[in-house]
Each structure stands twice: as C-alpha cells, then as structure tokens.
Structure 1
Amino acid sequence: MSTLDGVNVALGVSGSIAAVKTVELAHELRRQGASVKAVMSGSATGIIHPWSLQYATDNDVVTEITGRVEHVEFCGRDGWADVLLVAPATANTVGKMAAAVDDTPVTTCATTALGAGVPVVVAPAMHEPMYDHPGVLDAIERVKSWDVEFVDPRIEEGKAKIATEEAIVLATARAVGERPLAGRHVVVTSGATSERIDPVRTLTNRASGRTGRAVAKACYVRGADVTLVHDGPDVPYATVAGVESAADMTASVLDAVESGADALVSAAAISDYTVDASESKLRSGRDLTLDLAATPKLIDTVREAHPDLPIVGFKLETGGDDEDLARVARKTLERVDLAFVVANDAGVLGSDETRTLFVREDSATEFRGDKTGLGLRVADELVTELEE
C-alpha cells in the first residue's frame, strides 16, 4: 500500500531553477501510486525540457492552453485531476494565483482548480528576499485562506529552496485524501533509545525507527497534528521532540500528552535497562561488569498519569507461534488497558516488509506488507478507536 494509490496528480511546473527537481518528484509521485500529468509555464520550459517530464510521467506535457481547454480537462469539476500540485511555485506564480491572473498554463489550471473545488498543493521556491517580501507573504496567506496546502520551503544559503520530495508527496496525500484525524493530536514514539555507559559508549538496540516514522507519516496524511518523539532528525510531517535515553523519552511523551494529545502510539524500542554512567571514559582491554537497572515502562507511566488516554502498544518477541505472540500481547493489553497492540517477531527488524498481528481482547488479525502500509493500518485502526 502506498500513500497515493490511485490518485491523479496534475503537476504544475513554473519557472524556478528548482524545476530541475521535478523529474525525480514525478518519479516519486508515481512510486507512491499516483498517475501524473505535467503542466508547464513558458518560463519552466526554458529551464527543463518538456520531454524530460514526458519521460518521467509517461504522459504528454501541456505547455499551452489550446482548443482542448486543457485547464478544464485537467482541473475542472469533472476533470481528470484529483489534486493540483504546483511545484515549484515562484513568487510570480503565487502572486498570480492570489489575484486570479491566468497568463500561463499553470496559473490557468490553478484558477480552474480553486473554482472547481479541486485540492491544491503549493511548494514555493525562490530567493529568500523574495519569499520575505510583504506582498509575497500576503499572497501566500491569501491563498492559504482558500484551504490550499503550502509545503514550506527549506531556508538555506539565502534561498527558500523547494521542500523535499518526501514532504511534497506527504502534503499531496494529506490534501487529496480523507482526514478523519483532522483536529486530533497524536504522539508517536519511534526507534531505539540509548543509555550512556560513559561519554563515548552506550547500551542500545537494533531498532531502525522505520515503523514509528511510518505511523507518524500515516497519522499526518490522515489529518492529525503529530508529535514524533525519537532520537533522530527533524521531519516535515511532525513536530519532533529529540531524546536519547528511556528517561528522556518518557519525560518528553508526558510533556507532549500534557499539551493536549488525543492518543499515544508507543512504537519505540525503549531501553529495558539503564546503568549508572561513568563521568570519564572507561579503559578498554580489561573485563568489565555492568550493573543494569530496569527502566520504568513508558506506557505504564503514561497510563498512570492519564487513565483515559487511548494508547497503542507495540510488542516485539522472538520465537513462538502466533498464538504465543497474541497471548503475550494480550497480557500487556490488559495490564495497561491499551486500545490494541501491534505484535511481531524480532526477525522483521530493519526489513522493508513486515508481518504483524493486531491484537485486541477478542481478536488477532494479521497484516502483511511494507512499513508504509503498516503505518496506514495503524492510523486507520486508531481512527476507529477515537470515533468510538
């Protein structure tokens, strides 16, 4: 399962140098399940040849509006496109969209889409002083007020660079899909934590964090405001709380929940043991014994502080069959009063494909697929919990 399965994307390309990025963007949209047709302004064709996008999309490229009324064919009320993605969008293009000026194929498609109620996503790219111009900022705010999704640029080297492909794809999926989690705040934990032994050594585990990030992305696509608690970089689909240890993660989750969370998805592989860290580097070349102390269970701590919060747990085990896995998961389900538990075998750590059981009090249903599909399944199961 992919985030854009079956979605028709009209890709509007305007005359920013970032137009060179659209070939790979088109490929990524298609990798995520979308069909793509490109529309280019005259300025864009001076930067990237239409044949490049014809190859990338496997469709003819619109470079002028003809008697076929391509803007209506693509973005009219009964048009082909499910969403118009303008990427890159120059200051000139955003200003014209705000003023309903239709003098390029891209701006004509934008006016048509906005009038027809077709979702529109805009990914600006320009020099930073242009992005900071009061008129450009006013135009952006005006277009945003029409429920257009903007994908914020990356401010680097004096330029407002186009957002990453991942950010644009996820914003497009969020714009075009149903948003049953709109208005909800979901906290997601992800990846491994680590416990300091000394200033250079840690105790940790093999968890990659891919599952937790997939859940966070899926909740974002379904409309939620997401807080991702992990030992990793900032991401475009969530507010990140950076942590290192199990204690850090627990404290950050409690802070995020206190701010008004509607649910917690505890997908991280949190350290089960900690150790009193040495202030100086331990000498190597000799045997060493560490006294390990058990860390408090995050979900137990959160449950004690928030008795009514819906919590989704993850359970990782080694060996045994599905019956054993479900039995162990139900013990945690009952002890902490979880909404449901996603249980799997440790053999899936770090792999692209996964197999899990969704364990509830009276059922255990199987999921097979990639991490993206698992994330979407978790988000959809969470929707059911919150609706109930």
Structure 2
Amino acid sequence: MRGPRGSVENLHPSKDIVGAKSSELGGKRVALCITGGAAAYRCPDLARELMKRGAEVYAVMTEAASKLITPELMRWATGNPVVTELTGDIEHIALTTGDDKVDLVIVAPATANTISKAAHGICDNAVTTLIASALGSNIPVVFVPAMHASLYVSPGVQRSLEELRAMGGEVIEPWMEEGKAKMPDVSFIAERVAERLTRRGQFKGLKFLVTAGPTREPLDAVRFLTNPSSGKMGFALAEEAWRRGGEVTLIKGPVEHRAPHGVKVVDVVTTEDMYRAVEAELTNTGYDVVILAAAPLDYGFSSTFNHKLPSGLAELDVKLQPRPKISMAVRKLAPKAFFIGFKAEHGVSDEELIERAYARLLEAGMDLIVANDVGRESRGFSCDTNEVFIVDKERRVVHVSLRSKREVAKAILDVAAEKMGVGG
C-alpha cells in the first residue's frame, strides 16, 4: 500500500501534481478521512491541494461518504488505494505505526455523528477507528466540522469538540454562512495543515509557564469579588505552546475549561494563591517562557467572614486592600526567561492603549506585552474573539486584527518564536 518515506509510491498519473505548487509538505503523509457530509464533494480538490504542496494523501471513507462520492474518485484523486473498511491488513494500525505511518490525520468534512463518536472513543468504522489509533499514537488529528449551524452550535457537538481538543485534537473552525457551518476553502485548510506540520516541535525542549482566568477574593462563606475573565486566552496560549512541542504548566483560576492532557494544571482561587503558585514554579523549575495571561484581582477585602452574612443588612461597609502584583515578581524570580505579559484597558484609543502597555512592559521587565481594550465589542472578557496589539522592548507594534482567540494565540507565539530565534 505504501512505499519508502519521501518517495512517490508509484507512477499513477495523478501523482504528476505532487509538489507542483510548493514543497512545504514534501515527504509528509496525510490520511484524509471523509465522512458523510454534503461537503464531501470537495475532498478530491482538498486531496489534490495537499498533493500540490508535496504531500502523499491516503483517503479513508465511511460508508455514508461512499454514497456521496465514490472511492474510485478518491483513488483517482490521490493515486493511492482507498480504505473503506477494515480488513485483515489492519489498515488503522498500518497508517499509524512504524516508519511509514502518516504524519497527520485530517477529518473533512467532520459530521456531528463522527465528531461525537470520536469524542467518546467509539470505533465502529474505518474512520473512527483510525482517529482513535492516531490519537493513541500521538499523531496530530485535525477536524474540519461541516454541518447546519444549529447542529454545530448544539451543546453536544460543542462538548464533543472540547473533548477532542483535550485529547490533543485540533479543530479548524467552519465558516458560518447562510445558516450553515461550512467547510473552508481547500487552500485555507491545506495552509493550516502545512502550518500544523511545519510548526510541530518548534518549542521542543522549552518549558512554558502560563497563567489563565480570573481570581476570587472572598467576602464571606458564599460571596466573593471577581471579574468576568473566562481564561480562554490563556488556555489557547497553553494549548498552542503544547502543540508546538513545549512542556507546559498552566496555573488557572476558577474556570471550567479543560487543558490538553499533556499540560500540567495547577488550580488556584485567590490572587495570593496565584502569586504563590507562580513563585513556587519559578523557584523550583527553570522555565524558558513565562506568559501571564490571567486577570488576577488587584484588590481584595481587608477582612473576611467565615460565615454567610445575613441578607437583611441595611448597610455594609467593606474596605479593599491591594493584592500582590504577580507581573512585578517574575523578572526577579526568572531573570533569563522570555517574559510575555498582558495589559487590559477599557475605552481608550489605540495610541493610549499601546502607550500604557509599553509603560507596563518597561516597569515589569517584559520582553513582549499584549494589549487589548476589553470595552470594545467582541473583544472583552468571555468572548471567543479578540483584537490585540503586541508590543516589544523597542516599542515595535504588531497589530492582530479581530479573530478567534486560538488564532490570536498563534500570532502571539509566532512573534515570540521570532524574538527568541526559534525556528519553525
């Protein structure tokens, strides 16, 4: 079924296009898993786009997919045999073990059915079994959901996607148009595949410490002061650093998100807790990169009550006291670490936002600072999207326009990698 790595297995005429556009995927093997969604008709084009960038592509199809496009069409498109069922050749093992294993599995289109099965480890066809084997073999698995919008946003599908991310899977977000979650252009998908494969291992050997989420300051046994931070930005940074090969520790406030299984998680509640956790990690471990993406409270109550205060009080006077500033301790604890901080403002101009961020960078001895205005629509706490300005020590600014926080995380780490001189 397969020849030596880096070779074109046979002289099938379809393979004349391999490397026609670029060699960025040269020597890479990609398993294209096709499920029974209407977007399956675009898979021959996707396969050939990957091939034009140098990849060898192996199609794996569900029975439902075979009713929409024939396996013979995918055989023509890829020049390789197509897997439609598992046989005595144990195709799912052949594709995920040994020197000739695939470098990446892409599931496109990924239907709600397949996403849900994969999230729960169900192996009832060639595609779901290959996904499970790939995840168990530490092979990147990329899902490209495509379905009606109502299905995509349904709690079950979203929960399953989060489960897959926690297992190490990656999701290329669909394009929301005309009430549908559509599969993106094949060139966009191929670009993401190339990005995923070329950056894999970029941060190998580097240790990352990331903070995420809010903190809480208790008033009494049931009430507390906090902020709306969701931790999504910090989780996205931790996940992206881990995907690029970094050894990641995530110190998180009280949020419910799950980190990938390869990330060490430290749970904290108060700002003092987070400060002590950061202090302990930096004292005991030689971190190469520190990213403070959390939103710890600057103030807490001067005194607290260990019981629930009665709700009928006519008046309650409380005092707030400053809490320790974590960003001001990092440089002393980790003088050689590459230090990335965040600066959130509300209702200021871009110029003022950048100026305040730069002042904080100098004050704390950061290498980069990421500034955003949480008062702007779709850019605040709890949003899935963000717009940021990345400022360095020379006051050079990189503007990252509004996009998903996962994409923002990639942009931040791209800038950091360049500053650190890390290839990828």
TM-score (norm 1): 0.66
In structure 2, distance between residues paired with 1:54 and 1:37: 15
In structure 2, distance between residues paired with 1:378 and 1:59: 40
2:243 to 195, 212, 221: 221
TM superposition shift of 1:273:
0.5
Kept in 2, the 8 Å contact 1:314–1:342? The answer is yes
In structure 1, distance between residues paired with 2:330 and 2:389: 23
2:298 to 258, 272, 275: 272
CA separation of 1:163 and 1:331: change in aligned 2, threshold 3 A: closer
Kept in 2, the 8 Å contact 1:37–1:60? The answer is no
Q: Deviations over 1:53-90 (max 9, x none)?
A: 458xx86558x999x9735x89xxxxxxxxxxxxxxxx
Kept in 2, the 8 Å contact 1:315–1:329? The answer is yes
- 2:119 aligned with 1:119: no
How big is the alpha-carbon RMSD for the aligned residues of Structure 1 and Structure 2?
Answer: 4.2
- Pairwise mapping of residues 1-388 of structure 1 onto structure 2 (< 5 A)? 9-11=30-32, 38-39=59-60, 50-51=63-64, 53=65, 60=70, 70-71=80-81, 103-110=89-96, 114-116=98-100, 118-119=102-103, 125=121, 148-149=137-138, 164-166=163-165, 167-170=167-170, 176-178=197-199, 179-231=201-253, 232-233=255-256, 234-236=258-260, 237-257=262-282, 258-275=284-301, 276-286=303-313, 287-347=315-375, 348-349=379-380, 350-360=382-392, 361-368=394-401, 369-387=403-421
Q: SS at the partner of 2:306?
A: coil
Q: Deviations over 1:333-366 (max 9, x none)?
A: 1111101110010121122332111112322221
Structure 1: where are the runs of 5+ without partners?
1-5, 14-21, 41-48, 75-92, 94-100, 128-139, 152-160
In structure 2, distance between residues paired with 1:65 and 1:180: 34
In structure 1, distance between residues paired with 2:298 and 2:245: 33
In structure 2, distance between residues paired with 1:243 and 1:382: 27
In structure 1, distance between residues paired with 2:277 and 2:70: 50
Task: Read off the aligned partner of 2:322 and give its amino acid letter.
Answer: A
Which region of structure 1 is more displaced relative to structure 2, 345-354 or 161-170?
Answer: 161-170
Q: SS at the partner of 2:327?
A: helix
The aligned counterpart of 2:153 is: none
Q: SS at the partner of 2:305?
A: coil
Kept in 1, the 8 Å contact 2:210–2:238? The answer is yes
Task: Read off the aligned partner of 2:419 and give its amino acid letter.
Answer: E
Kept in 1, the 8 Å contact 2:231–2:294? The answer is yes
Task: Read off the aligned partner of 2:220 and give its amino acid letter.
Answer: D
Task: Read off the aligned partner of 1:385 and give its amino acid letter.
Answer: K
Task: Read off the aligned partner of 1:366 and give its amino acid letter.
Answer: H
Which region of structure 1 is more displaced relative to structure 2, 203-212 or 236-245?
Answer: 236-245
TM superposition shift of 1:116:
4.0
In structure 2, distance between residues paired with 1:226 and 1:54: 41
Task: Read off the aligned partner of 1:359 and give its amino acid letter.
Answer: V
CA separation of 1:117 and 1:37: change in aligned 2, threshold 3 A: closer
In structure 2, distance between residues paired with 1:12 and 1:323: 47
Kept in 1, the 8 Å contact 2:211–2:292? The answer is yes
Q: SS at the partner of 1:10?
A: strand
Kept in 2, the 8 Å contact 1:271–1:295? The answer is yes
In structure 1, distance between residues paired with 2:359 and 2:162: 44
In structure 1, distance between residues paired with 2:331 and 2:63: 56
Q: SS at the partner of 1:344?
A: strand
Aligned length: 306
Task: Read off the aligned partner of 1:373 and give its amino acid letter.
Answer: E
Kept in 2, the 8 Å contact 1:266–1:314? The answer is yes
CA separation of 1:148 and 1:110: change in aligned 2, threshold 3 A: closer
Kept in 1, the 8 Å contact 2:248–2:264? The answer is yes
Structure 2: where are the runs of 5+ without partners?
1-24, 51-56, 107-117, 124-132, 141-159, 172-191
Q: Deviations over 1:283-324 (max 9, x none)?
A: 212211111011111011222222222210100001221111
In structure 1, distance between residues paired with 2:71 and 2:238: 34
Q: Deviations over 1:233-284 (max 9, x none)?
A: 4422521111111111111222223322111110111111011221111121
TM superposition shift of 1:37:
7.1
Q: SS at the partner of 2:366?
A: coil
TM superposition shift of 1:12:
6.3
CA separation of 1:370 and 1:255: change in aligned 2, threshold 3 A: same
CA separation of 1:54 and 1:336: change in aligned 2, threshold 3 A: farther
Task: Read off the aligned partner of 1:235 and give its amino acid letter.
Answer: A
Q: SS at the partner of 2:169?
A: helix
In structure 1, distance between residues paired with 2:370 and 2:293: 9
CA separation of 1:59 and 1:110: change in aligned 2, threshold 3 A: farther
Task: Read off the aligned partner of 1:263 and give its amino acid letter.
Answer: V
In structure 2, distance between residues paired with 1:351 and 1:10: 34
Kept in 1, the 8 Å contact 2:251–2:265? The answer is yes
Kept in 1, the 8 Å contact 2:370–2:391? The answer is yes
Structure 1's consecutive aligned runs of 4 or more residues displaced over 6 angstroms after TM superposition are 33-37, 121-124, 171-175
